[in-house]
Amino acid sequence: MDNQLLLICLLTAVINLIGALAYAARIAGVRTGRIAMSFALFNLLVLVSRMSNSFLGPFLAKRIELRLASGGGDALAGDFRLVLASATFAVFIGILLVPTAQRLFAQAIGWFQHNRSTARLVLRTASPAGLSAIRQSLTMPSAENLKQLGKPKDIGWGVLIANMLAQGLITVGVLASLYAGYLNPEFRVTASQLSAVINGFATILLFAFIDPQISVMTDDVVEGRMDANVFRRAIIWISLSRLAGTVAAQVFFIPSAMAVAWIANYV
């Protein structure tokens, strides 16, 4: 793996790690009763994710150009599959870090309630006190919680499958559109702009079917109609379906790229 591909994999990992930690923000919001505050603080991490994402597309496009110039286009599929594997690895690490992240979010929410300064909160993260808080919050999912996971009784299989499909398509969207440009070089620029064909369907699934379900459960916990442990189990299942989605992205990759390459002929 060369340095350019390593950088692409790292950017992909950062984007997917932050996405996986979004569930920790929900749990922290439920624990503290500060739902809006938990998402406001999480948006700080989203800024890092979006910045990484803004560089990812150009780096991938440059990778394709260099491969084509050197006659190594056949290796592009392997490169992109490594990028997809880095997404899976990052989501897996994110799931393991959810207990740690929820404790850190809860501490940050409490600190911000008294100080109300985003700049000071960011600076505190790198201070000795902040690093000590991170070290003390480090924990792994307990074996007891894993034993209690059981079957997904608290959230439907339909929601989990829809989330898996949505996450898989979102993971593969940009990569498939860029690889479609390699498959259909005559309309390479057109294909590279067609990621919305894949991401659009995934976005509809997320915002129409999945996010409302999670939001309702969050409100139920805050209002006392759902036990917090039940909510955490549901979030674990949703996280696992996200992980399954990144694995499914390996299957979606080539068919999605071929579909985009075909659509590029008729746009």
Q: How far is CA 178 from CA 198, 222, 257, in A?
A: 12, 43, 8
Q: Are 7 and 79 in contact (CB under 8 A)?
A: no
> Do 253 and 175 meet the contact criterion of CB atoms below 8 Å apart?
yes
pLDDT at 153: 63
pLDDT at 244: 94
* pLDDT at residue 50, as a whole number: 67
Q: Divide the 267 residues of the chain into consecutive groups of 10 and give the mean pLDDT of each group.
A: 84 87 82 77 72 77 79 79 93 88 81 74 73 73 62 75 90 88 84 82 82 82 79 85 93 91 86
Taking alpha carbons only, the member of 203, 205, 179, 201 closest to residue 192 is 179
Contact 5, 79 (CB under 8 A): yes
| Cα–Cα distance measured from residue 64 to residue 180, given in angstroms and rounded to the nearest whole number | 11
* pLDDT for the residue numbered 85: 94
* Alpha helix stretches (DSSP H) within the chain: 3-32, 35-69, 76-115, 118-125, 128-137, 143-147, 157-183, 188-192, 195-205, 211-222, 228-263
Q: In angstroms, rounded to a whole number, what is the distance separating the alpha carbons of residues 196 and 187?
A: 16
Q: What is residue 146's predicted lDDT score, i.e. its pLDDT?
A: 61
**Interatomic CA distance for residues 192 and 175, integer angstroms:** 9
Q: Are 49 and 14 in contact (CB under 8 A)?
A: yes
Q: Which amino acid is present at 41?
A: L
pLDDT at 90: 93
Phi-psi region of 193 (alpha: psi -120 to 50; beta: other; left: phi over 0): alpha
Query: In whole angstroms, what is the distance from residue 237 CA to residue 136 CA?
Result: 26
3-state SS class at 46: helix
Q: pLDDT value at position 214? A: 82
Interacting residues of 187 by C-beta distance below 8 A, sequence separation 6+:
181, 261, 264, 265, 267
